[in-house]
Amino acid sequence: MSKKKKIKNAPVYVADSKIHGKGLFAAKNIKKGDLIGYFKHHKTTVDGPYVLWLEEDLAYTVEDDFKYINHSKKANAAYYDDFTIMAIKKINKDDEITHNYGSDWG
């Protein structure tokens, strides 16, 4: 993995979610296109909680608070294969940050 610039005080926090269990929330307003952060991860071949599949045979277990990003068909953020999470819509302070995990999810 190439070295990534760490984001100090990523603009997020974990709290109870109305969607599922715990969720990740915006600690401040986040603009569309803003980098939210980089997720800590390790490669895996086994599906399970907090596993992000980027391709059919390529998966990573998310090891930090970004694992609490819940699914929504109307997502406001996206994971990318460079291990970043970007805002794809404006996210207001205290809104839950969500990602569309696809039609096969849950």
Number of domains in the chain: 1
CB-based contact 102:82 (threshold 8 Å) = no
Domain, as residue range, for 57: 30-99
Indicate which CATH number applies to the domain containing 49. Answer: 2.170.270.10
The 10s digit of each residue's pLDDT in 69-99 is 999 999 999 989 899 999 999 999 999 999 9
Q: Specify the pLDDT at position 5.
A: 47
Q: Can you give the pTM of this predicted structure?
A: 0.86
Residue 104 pLDDT grade (very low, low, confident, very high; cuts 50, 70, 90): low
Q: Is 10 within a domain?
A: no
Q: Is 84 within a domain?
A: yes
The per-residue pLDDT for 3 is: 43
In a domain, 16, yes or no: no
Residues 106 and 71: beta-carbon distance below 8 Å? yes
46 in a structural domain? yes
- pLDDT, residue 96, reads 98
14 domain-assigned: no
Range with the poorest average pLDDT among 23-27, 50-54, 60-64, 83-87 = 50-54
Structure tokens of 104? 């096969």
Residue 40 lies in a domain: yes
